Structure 1
Amino acid sequence: MQTLAMFGPLDTIVGPYIEFIVLGLLVANMVTRIVAHRSHVNQNNDGGADAISRSMLHNVTTALLVLATLYYLTWDSYAGLVSGILILGMVITDFFEFEARLVEARRDVPLDTPKGAIAASVLALLYVAFQTLFFIVEPVWTAIVG
């Protein structure tokens, strides 16, 4: 399939590695989600609901992930669209999970883990990892399917 060359030199430098970049950013986002949740628990223990704030590092990795996924959409339309939908769902879920943690803190109940955001990110990770690392399972896949 002929890829679009919309961004000139960026397509030459970053384009062939965009799947790996999205995979790396997704893993980094999952790690920052864990760190942010631990920080939220500590903030809640120290100062209650008013002390809880969004993690800047998690916001940065989320923004970079969304931008990389939008670029991936220009590189490979089908895989980029599916990845984009999964990652958009993960971002929306992450937003509402943070709001749920604030409600829990206001009610003085222990903060629960962000299960919805974790599930959404694992689903996105499975798809992106399959797209990125398909070359590993390709011989087995073609032997069974093809």
Structure 2
Amino acid sequence: MLPSPLEFLVPLGALESVADVLPFAILAVVLVNVVTRLLAQRSFERAAAEGDDDEALSRFLPHEIVNGLLVLLSFAFMIVEPHGGMVLSVLVVGMVISDFFEYESRRVEARNDLEMDKPNSAIVASALVIAYAGYQALFFLVEPIWSSII
């Protein structure tokens, strides 16, 4: 049997060995993402109060690292669980895109001396990611009820 071309890029055997833990890892990283988003918002508010312009603001590195890790984990989950991984990946990429635009919004607010708003779209997007990651990771809790209905 010929190896899949993907096997040269991604160690499928190693990925399959952690497939059961992957949904829990994703859920944990999503929860860490919420904490880093809160810390990033505080950092933006502090920088805007201290600086005169939007030059004082910079991306919050821990939050960006967690975003990158979350994207990689969701793509890895897509290899193991194609349907659930695709849905999760779309939600995660949407959340990362909303984070990008929320940062730009904070810069506009700092530049125009406006009050810093909360990152509402990123909060909603992360709530969707938490809900779906929780569904994927904790499905075993509702599986008996789900199986009896469906």
TM-score w.r.t. the length of structure 1 is 0.91
User: C-alpha deviations, 1:4-26, integer Å up to 9, x for none?
Assistant: 97514522542221111111111
> CA deviation digits over 1:84-137, x for unaligned, max 9?
000010000110010001001111011000000000010111011011101111
Q: AA paired with 2:50?
A: D
1:60 equivalent in structure 2:
65
The residue correspondences of 1:1-146 to structure 2 (distance < 5 A) are 7-48=11-52, 49-143=54-148, 145-146=149-150
Q: How big is the alpha-carbon RMSD for the aligned residues of Structure 1 and Structure 2?
A: 1.6
Task: Indicate the percent of aligned positions where both proteins have the same amino acid.
Answer: 38
Give unmatched runs, 5+ long, in structure 1: none
Cα distance in 2 between the residues matched to 1:68 and 1:108: 38
Residue equivalent to 2:3: none
Give the total of aligned pairs.
142
* Paired residue secondary structure (2:21): helix
**C-alpha contact 2:16 2:80 (8 A) present in aligned 1:** no
Q: In the aligned structure 1, how far is the partner of 2:66 from the partner of 2:133? A: 16
Partner of 2:59: helix, strand, or coil?
coil
